[in-house]
């Protein structure tokens, strides 16, 4: 009997080992989880005539160590809606990172392979070093893609996506030099084929300078083109308002033109050409606006200035902005401080700015007012509502005359 029990126990153990071995064949080792269908082909999402497919990626790293991952995507929208895509809950090889989506894909449009749209991903402030390393060495990305109707803000669908970057064409670690902070105009950059828009023909090619007093078809064409390139998100009504001027300044900034709120013939010629670039969210997505107010404090030789601040980010809220500013006289000479060096002042403005918000900032003091002809203002750094702080690689100063 004892021998029989021993034999039965041995058979039971052997059966258990066989079951364990069978189970082991279906359990994936850590870090080697099975990928959903479509991962290797770059498929992001498909919904009722709307589809997005990742074709290639690019990793940028500047000398300060700040790193961005751009996902270049072909977007086809065969619906009657204008649709935006948001990327949420993003991880690179299991490490949480941040990202922005692709805004406003027009109805019945196809970006094609020559005008790819892109997602932008970056490290979170609370684990920045870990996030940077994850981006630089990323093999697998996981995220939730949400489609929204851009007009009604209705959520259309959410979908969990996993991407294998190893199956895609990619470029890693593009070193971008840190330029000196000077107010010199930038040269016009050569647009990259992946971010270049097809040409657009307006009703009239006899371009005239458009300002806040302008109305009519020329303004409508301007707004439509800026809307198509994602610089403008308001009504196409043919009225040149603050939002139009802000979009013009944003376009000029990215496309290397002199930064101003008026749409000059030079600006329009580039805007409608195939050299115009789609909006690409910059490292500092906050900019100075076209309007500038000031007032003199009674008999004191001091002026209070109120520059317009604009949050261009489509997805992030800003809590504060640090400005640098200096003055020049009628001859263009910098004001010199008591120590004999050109004066550079600093001001911190605290204001909650949701995506797309703009406002005339709190007052910044400038003195001696009697000496000042032009105030030059630039944005040095910003802080987001999640605590992330960003400092500008190159401060772009805008001159505001105080004698007009």
pLDDT tens column, 29-45: 222 222 233 333 567 88
> Which pLDDT value is given to residue 43?
79
CATH label, 201-271, candidates 3.30.479.30, 1.10.3720.10, 2.40.160.20, 1.10.101.10? 1.10.101.10
SS3 226: helix
Residues making up the chain, counted from first to last: 404
Q: Which of 72-86, 151-165, 284-298 has maximum average pLDDT?
A: 72-86
Distance (Å, whole) CA 199 – CA 213: 27
**CA–CA separation, 237 and 232 (whole Å):** 12
Where exactly are the structural domains of the chain?
43-176, 201-271, 286-401
DSSP reduced 3-state for 156: strand
**pLDDT band of 390, cuts 50, 70, 90:** very high
* Distance from the first to the final alpha carbon of the chain: 111
What's the pLDDT tens digit per position in 283-323? Answer: 999 999 887 788 887 677 888 888 899 998 888 899 999 99
pLDDT value at residue 281? 86
- What are the percentages of helix, strand and coil residues in the chain, rounded to 5? 20, 40, 40
Task: Give the pLDDT mean for 171-197.
Answer: 43
Alpha-carbon distance of 244 to 104, in angstroms, equals 17
Hey, what are 31's tokens? 């870090």
**Cα 247 from Cα 278, distance rounded (Å):** 12
213-261 pLDDT per residue, tens = 899 999 999 999 999 898 988 889 999 998 999 999 999 988 888 888 8
Give the closest residue to 351 by CA, choosing from 388, 306, 317.
317
Is the Cβ–Cβ distance between 278 and 191 less than 8 Å? Answer: no
pLDDT tens-digit series, residues 100-126? 777 678 888 887 766 677 777 877 656
CA 338 to CA 360: how far, in whole Å?
Answer: 31
Residue 8 scores a pLDDT above 60: no
Give the orientation angle of helix 217-228 with respect to helix 242-254, to 10 degrees: 50
Helix ranges, 110-211 (H): 128-136
Task: Give me the residues paired with residue 210 across strands.
Answer: 263
Q: Would you state the CATH architecture of domain 286-401?
A: Sandwich (2.60)
Q: Rg of the chain's alpha carbons, rounded to an integer? A: 27
- Residues linked to residue 276 through DSSP beta bridges, in sequence order: none
Percent of the chain with pLDDT over 90: 22
- Helix and strand numbers (H, E) in the chain are 5, 20
Kindly state the tokens that stand for 391: 């400092």
Q: Is 286-401 in the same CATH topology as 201-271?
A: no
CATH class of residue range 43-176: mainly beta
388 CB contacts (<8 Å, ≥6 apart)?
98, 124, 125
Helix, strand or coil for residue 268? helix
Does residue 146 contact residue 155 with C-beta atoms inside 8 Å? yes
Kindly state the tokens that stand for 75.
Answer: 């977007």
DSSP E strand stretches across 237-317: 286-296, 303-311
How far is 99 from 45, CA to CA, in rounded Å?
17
Contacts of 301 (CB under 8 A, 6+ apart): 367, 368, 369, 370
Q: What is the pLDDT of residue 195?
A: 60
């Amino acid at each position: 009997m004892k021998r029989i029990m021993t034999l039965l126990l041995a058979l039971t153990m052997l059966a258990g080992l066989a079951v364990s071995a069978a189970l082991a064949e279906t359990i994936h080792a850590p870090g080697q989880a099975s990928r959903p269908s479509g991962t290797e082909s770059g498929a992001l999402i498909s919904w009722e005539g709307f589809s997005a497919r990742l074709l290639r990626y690019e990793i940028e790293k500047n000398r300060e160590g700040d790193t961005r991952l751009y996902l270049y995507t072909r977007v086809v929208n065969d619906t009657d809606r204008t649709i935006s895509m948001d990327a949420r809950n993003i991880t690179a090889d299991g490490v949480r990172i941040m990202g922005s989506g692709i805004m406003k894909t027009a109805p019945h449009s196809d970006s094609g392979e020559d005008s790819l749209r892109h997602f932008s991903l970056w490290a979170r402030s609370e684990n920045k070093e870990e996030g940077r390393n994850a981006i630089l060495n990323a093999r697998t990305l996981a995220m939730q893609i949400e489609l929204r109707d851009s007009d009604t803000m209705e959520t259309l669908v959410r979908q969990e996506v996993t991407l294998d970057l190893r199956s895609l064409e990619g470029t890693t670690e593009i070193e971008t030099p840190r330029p000196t902070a000077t107010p010199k105009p930038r040269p016009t950059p050569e647009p990259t084929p992946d971010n270049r828009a097809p040409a657009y023909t307006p009703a009239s090619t006899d371009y005239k300078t458009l300002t806040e007093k302008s109305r009519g078809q020329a303004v409508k064409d301007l707004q439509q083109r800026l809307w198509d390139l994602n610089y403008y998100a308001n009504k196409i009504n043919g009225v040149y308002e603050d939002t139009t001027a802000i979009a013009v300044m944003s376009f000029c900034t990215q496309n290397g033109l002199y930064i101003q709120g008026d749409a000059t013939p030079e600006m329009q010629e580039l805007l409608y050409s195939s050299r115009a670039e789609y909006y690409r969210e910059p490292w500092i997505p906050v900019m100075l606006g076209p309007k500038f107010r000031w007032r003199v404090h009674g008999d004191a030789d001091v002026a209070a200035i109120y520059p317009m601040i604009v949050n261009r980010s489509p997805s992030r809220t800003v809590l504060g902005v640090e400005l640098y500013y200096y003055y020049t006289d009628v001859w263009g000479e910098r004001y010199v401080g008591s120590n004999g060096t050109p004066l550079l002042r600093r001001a911190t403005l605290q204001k909650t700015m949701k995506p797309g918000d703009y406002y005339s900032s709190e007052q910044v003091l400038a003195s001696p007012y009697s000496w000042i002809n032009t105030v030059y203002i630039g944005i040095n750094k910003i802080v987001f509502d999640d605590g992330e702080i960003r400092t500008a690689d190159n401060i772009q100063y805008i001159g505001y005359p105080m004698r007009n």
